[in-house]
Homo-oligomer: A and B are copies of this chain.
């Protein structure tokens, strides 16, 4: 079955509020389109330096109570940096604590600021050791890396190949740190979109059997004529681009973003209708003995077919786990054809 990771929502694991686990709790209990496919308790940059211990406590506590009824996957982001021995040591301690205390609730660990291949291998080993120490099967807890250094992008070709035999399960883009690492400048307050890097991330992820997830969109709010409003179009533009080039999911910093990205990473009703219709016509043509047919001026053959099959398979996966989402998004007749068409 197609794995769902439409949304990678980070939630600061401890914030200076009366309930320091406020965001963690709301992520774990969100409903409908606001429920992320992957929830990421953030012990790294989203948590202030002096609240790290409380962040770990909150994560252990809330995962114990709330994760069992959470429908998605759980991936805490720990501290790590290829150029800091101190942070790697802290990261190893955090991995051991999390695996030891709430290993049953974890799908994987998110490791930020990794460097060249050897550093990613070190992160993988740290998780393997924690698994062994606490009696989990080898490979039961995966690793997602944030690709946000020049060193990691430089070694992406070999890092991705870890996905073929190893626990590496996801690439997540980190454009803010990445831009800083390259010495880039946000002129007019806009960062480059790094189109070439995004294409490589998508390619290497697919080549290595790894999931690819976009970077955060931090211009959450915009302001015009004195009114501040949620920046829905800016976020949608980024997520649509990511979907187009084959990213499996997108980063979310807020439930509103999650509600948008969950929808954008679903095929539109038009796309689904075209995909189902073309596969139906293509299946008919195959039965009639024609290898390629022209439908609405577009040649459809075994190759184009695959794109349409991807679309149908994704909708089926969402339909299996979130029938309320597909029920809201598509009309009943189209859903019936989606479930029935032969792939």
Q: Which of A25-33, A62-70, A122-130, A174-182 makes up part of the contact surface? A: A174-182
Q: Which residues of B contact A50 (CB under 8 A)?
A: 289
Q: Which of A134-142, A165-173, A198-206 makes up part of the contact surface? A: A198-206
- B244 engages A204 (CB within 8 Å): no
- B185 engages A311 (CB within 8 Å): yes
Q: How large is the interface on A (under 10, 10 to 19, 20 to 34, 35 or more residues)?
A: 35 or more
- B298 engages A184 (CB within 8 Å): no
In the complex with contacts A192-B245, A244-B187, A301-B45, A307-B154 CB distance below 8 A: no
- A177 engages B306 (CB within 8 Å): yes
Is residue A151 contacting chain B, with contact meaning CB distance below 8 A?
A: yes
Is residue A248 contacting chain B, with contact meaning CB distance below 8 A?
A: yes
Q: Which residues of B contact A297 (CB under 8 A)?
A: 219-223, 228, 231
Within 8 A of B (CB), among A63-112: none
Contact of A204 among B148, B154, B253 (CB under 8 A): B154
Is residue A312 contacting chain B, with contact meaning CB distance below 8 A?
A: no
- A307 engages B180 (CB within 8 Å): yes
Within 8 A of B (CB), among A115-160: 116, 148-151, 153-154, 157, 160
Within 8 A of B (CB), among A36-52: 45-51
Contact of A220 among B51, B299, B304 (CB under 8 A): B299
User: Nearest Cβ in chain B — how far from A157, in angstroms?
Assistant: 6
**A-B contact list, 17 entries, CB within 8 Å:** A12-B292, A45-B302, A45-B303, A48-B292, A49-B286, A51-B289, A148-B303, A154-B203, A157-B157, A177-B303, A177-B306, A180-B307, A180-B309, A185-B246, A185-B271, A192-B245, A221-B294
